[in-house]
Amino acid sequence: MNMQPFAKQVGIPVLLVLLLAGGFLLGRITGSETATIAQQEAPATEREILYWQAPMDPTEIYNSPGKSKMGMDLVPVFKDESASESNGTISIDPWIVQNMGVRTSHVQRMDFSRIIRTVGEVQYDEERLYLVNAKVSGWIEILYVNFVGDEVQEGDPLMEIYSPELVSTQQEYLLALKNYRSLAESSIPSIRADAEKLLASARKRLEYWDIPSSEIEHLAQSGEVKKTILLEAPATGIVVKRNAIEGAYIKAGMDLFEIADLRTVWVHASFYDNEVPWIAEGQSVKMELSYLPGKTYSGWVSYVYPYLREKARDVHVRLIFSNPDLDLKPGMYANVELQGKVVPDALLVPSEAVIRSGARAIVFVVRGEGRFEPREVLIGQEGGPGNRYVQVVAGLSGGEEVVTSAQFMLDSESRLQEAIQKMLHGQDPLESQPVNEKEESTSDSISSAPHDRMGLQHQ
């Protein structure tokens, strides 16, 4: 008789019986020891339990232990571990705070301003633009300025015009002068007065045609009628327009030259409407050109235009700069930097400390010992050193410490605890029971109720 198959048939059932018996005895011993230890430690570690919470869903809470909807054991939340206070303050373990990388900064009081950077375009100084035109009709006999861009000095000749009207007026002036000289010794006062008036009228006509006084005096002394009239430059500058051609016929009032004095230029800069409150006339401005690095020009705000350009949604501001070397040429683009108006003794926090939700602004105030209080604040303009600060109008005091990083995680924890508190006050937790391990049915938990009925609305 072969004994090996028989031994295998008998040995396997015996081994299973021995394993089951050993496990039963070990469980009895372990359970007894665990119960004994729990009974010994219970009085020493007795703590008040607020509620029971699902480990995977903090909003699923019950009033007694049991199983969650996912079949996991509920976790107790003790009163001394409650992370939320009545004002929304949350408590976090210091080592967790360190791992989260929480940084803080103090609320400061300082003179508050803002640096505004924009782009401007160099343009002519409209107060230094000069038009040259003739007040008589005639022909251009001689042209002294032949091209645009020529630089002229005040009093330089521009051109000579032949005008029959001017010739006849000179002759009338000489006749009136001769008549006045012959009647100057008359014994009749009225005759002398009429002769004097006639001479003054002829001279005034020449002056109205912009004939220089020196030319009129030369005409009176020489008695020679000049064929042409000389037009001179009214100011020093650059010829930017020329409509005169030698030999052409011109009419009275026709614009012949336009001269621009570029020793001073305007810069038109565009600012957004929210930057306009920082700008005032007389403020100093700095400007740089991208093609002249390292050179800075200093100017000032001359005028803030009183309207908004609808398409660009910006406001034009006129800046004035001195340009003695004529480096600034109309049409150039420049980088403009303006130091805004100063708000004295303003309350400031770093911009990154503020959580903006659209309807309100929140900062987290450090209360010490791992406690953080969410507080609603009223904020103003951004600015300060590096434009990295925001003005606090209400909600904070000088010297308080606020969180500048990881505050979004704190905000999530605060909102979670706030939602749980609303749920606890909105429905009695005794009405909801955990899942019974021996039954198939599941009782409704607080979190299974509709959010609008339980007040679970994240603000």
What is the domain-level CATH number for residue 309?
Answer: 2.40.30.170
> Does residue 27 register a pLDDT over 60?
no
- What order do you get walking across the sheet with 75-78 strand by strand? 61-62, 49-53, 75-78
> Does residue 316 register a pLDDT over 90?
yes
Question: Which range is least confidently modeled, 125-129, 274-278, 425-429?
Answer: 425-429
> Does residue 139 register a pLDDT over 80?
yes
pLDDT score recorded for residue 250? 93
Confidence of residue 282 (pLDDT cuts 50, 70, 90): very high
**Are 268 and 331 found together in one domain?**
yes
Average pLDDT over residues 23-45: 42
**Are 143 and 243 found together in one domain?**
yes
455 occurs within a structural domain: no
**Are 234 and 143 found together in one domain?**
yes
Of the candidates 341, 366, 394, which is a domain's last residue? 341
> Does residue 417 register a pLDDT over 70?
no
Residue 61 CB neighbours (<10 A)? 23
99 occurs within a structural domain: yes
72 occurs within a structural domain: no
Average pLDDT over residues 336-356: 87
pLDDT score recorded for residue 23? 47
Number of domains in the chain: 4
Distance CA 429, CA 76 (A): 14
79 occurs within a structural domain: no
**Are 349 and 328 found together in one domain?**
no
Residue pLDDT, tens place only, 101-120: 788 888 888 888 888 999 99
pLDDT score recorded for residue 240? 95
Distance CA 433, CA 156 (A): 104
CATH number of the domain at 398, please. Answer: 2.40.420.20
Distance CA 243, CA 245 (A): 7
What percent of the chain clears pLDDT 90, i.e. is strictly above it? 28
Residue range(s) defining the domain that contains residue 205? 135-253
> Does residue 44 register a pLDDT over 90?
no
14 occurs within a structural domain: yes
> Residue type for 109, please?
R
**Are 365 and 407 found together in one domain?**
yes
Polymer length in residues for the chain: 459
**Are 157 and 228 found together in one domain?**
yes
**Are 301 and 322 found together in one domain?**
yes
Question: Is there a contact between 234 and 120 (Cβ–Cβ < 8 Å)?
Answer: no
> Does residue 33 register a pLDDT over 70?
no
Query: DSSP of 281-319, one letter per residue?
Result: TT-EEEEEETTEEEEEEEEEEEEE-SS-BTTTTEEEEEE
**Are 294 and 356 found together in one domain?**
no
Residue pLDDT, tens place only, 250-274: 998 899 999 999 999 999 999 998 8
pLDDT score recorded for residue 196? 86
Confidence of residue 99 (pLDDT cuts 50, 70, 90): confident
**Are 309 and 236 found together in one domain?**
no
What percent of the chain clears pLDDT 70, i.e. is strictly above it? 76
CATH number of the domain at 176, please. Answer: 2.40.50.100
CA dihedral 162, 168, 169, 174 (to 10 degrees): 120
> Does residue 6 register a pLDDT over 70?
no
Question: Which range is least confidently modeled, 112-121, 135-144, 202-211, 413-422?
Answer: 413-422
Of the candidates 221, 253, 285, which is a domain's last residue? 253
**Are 277 and 291 found together in one domain?**
yes
Query: Which parts of 42-123 fold into alpha helices (H)?
Result: 94-100
> Does residue 50 register a pLDDT over 90?
no
**Are 300 and 193 found together in one domain?**
no
